[in-house]
Amino acid sequence: MRQPIIAGNWKMHMGRVEQAVSFARQIRQALNEVEGVDRVLCPPFTVLTAVAEAMQHTQIALAAQTMHWEEMGAHTGEISPVMLSELCDYVILGHSERRATGSTAETDQSINLKVHAAFAHGLTPIICVGENLEQNEAGETHAFVGGQVRAAFDGLTTEQALRCVVAYEPIWAIGTGKAATPTDANRTIGLTVRGAIAESFGEEVAQTVRVQYGGSVNVDNIASFMAMPEVDGALVGGASLKPDFVELVRRGAGASIG
Ligand code: 13P
């Protein structure tokens, strides 16, 4: 049995401390009461401490949205695993919005370094993978996403591999209102994500790792994803910024077949 996990990725929203804390207080009691699903909030760095305080004495976990792999050093503006380890339990790594471009772009290689660094500091990585529209239409999803998974898991021990959370987020489904079909998400997670893990770590590990779907998940479609046997949760963007995120999590927990 895999315990489902639903995470709300706030991205670069809820930026003012007062706004973030007020929203966190608004949802915390009801969110804390939902059973049968791990609940995670992923606020921006600058409000992480304040939201962590607001979530004290609840079972709601926090995640950072990225981090550097080094513990310390001359990396202006970066956030290290040491800085995060007292504040949160999880860290999102390799989100497609960070893999994309720019000097801080995350690559398969740097994501793998970050996965190792996360474990070295007691953080659980939520590893994001997913193909773009062109790759999807060219039938390259299996090869591309499988490669991302293999690269991220490279060199992990079995115990570490078991603890990883993977988020399959097709890029064309993120923020577009055009989610993957639950059947397609189920197939890619089962065949491609678990398939790639099984190649290196065996079928038992592949069947134990929790894999979320992400991309235009909302209160109306969450149940259809959670009802899929390979889908263990969701990484939610836009819909996690509204109070009915609690209802989304409730419906997800209710529909999950674990
Ligand atoms: P949306 O739910 O807004 O499509 O974002 C998904 C996502 O990128 C979560 O990490």
pLDDT class for 1, splitting at 50, 70, 90? confident
pLDDT class for 100, splitting at 50, 70, 90? confident
pLDDT class for 101, splitting at 50, 70, 90? confident
Is 217 near ligand 1, meaning CB less than 6 Å away?
A: yes
Q: How many other CB atoms are there within 10 angstroms of residue 43's CB atom?
A: 30
pLDDT class for 256, splitting at 50, 70, 90? confident
Given this model, what pLDDT does residue 258 score?
A: 56
Which of 5, 6, 9, 126 for mutating ligand 1's site (highest number of atoms within 8 Å of CB)? 9
Ligand 1 atom 1: residue of nearest CA:
237
Query: What gap in Å lies between CA 164 and CA 126, rounded to an integer?
Result: 7
Q: Which residues contact 223 (CB under 8 A, 6 or more apart)?
A: 251, 252, 254, 255
Given this model, what pLDDT does residue 139 score?
A: 98
Across 118-131, average pLDDT: 98
How far does residue 100's CA lie from ligand 1's centre (Å)?
15
Q: Which ligand 1 atom lies nearest to the CA of residue 218?
A: 2
Read off the pTM.
0.97
Across 199-213, average pLDDT: 98
- Please say if 247 is a catalytic residue: no
DSSP state of 89: S
Q: Which ligand 1 atom lies nearest to the CA of residue 216?
A: 4
How far does residue 99's CA lie from ligand 1's centre (Å)?
14
Average pLDDT, the chain: 97
With vertex at residue 206, the alpha carbon angle to CA 94 and CA 147, rounded to the nearest 5 degrees, is 40
- The HSE-up count of residue 171 (CA atoms within 13 Å, CB side) is 19
The residue annotated as part of the active site, out of 97, 106, 169, 230, is 169
Is 8 near ligand 1, meaning CB less than 6 Å away?
A: no
Q: Are 161 and 205 in contact (CB under 8 A)?
A: yes
How far does residue 134's CA lie from ligand 1's centre (Å)?
19
How far does residue 72's CA lie from ligand 1's centre (Å)?
30
- Render pLDDT for 35-66 as a digit per residue (tens, 0 to 9): 999 999 999 999 999 999 999 999 999 999 99
Which domains are assigned to the chain?
5-242 (3.20.20.70)
pLDDT class for 89, splitting at 50, 70, 90? very high
Across 122-143, average pLDDT: 98
pLDDT of residue 102 exceeding 90, the answer is no
Ligand 1 atom 7: residue of nearest CA:
237
Across 108-127, average pLDDT: 98
Given this model, what pLDDT does residue 121 score?
A: 98
Ligand 1 atom 9: residue of nearest CA:
237
Is 130 near ligand 1, meaning CB less than 6 Å away?
A: no
How far does residue 9's CA lie from ligand 1's centre (Å)?
7
- Please say if 169 is a catalytic residue: yes
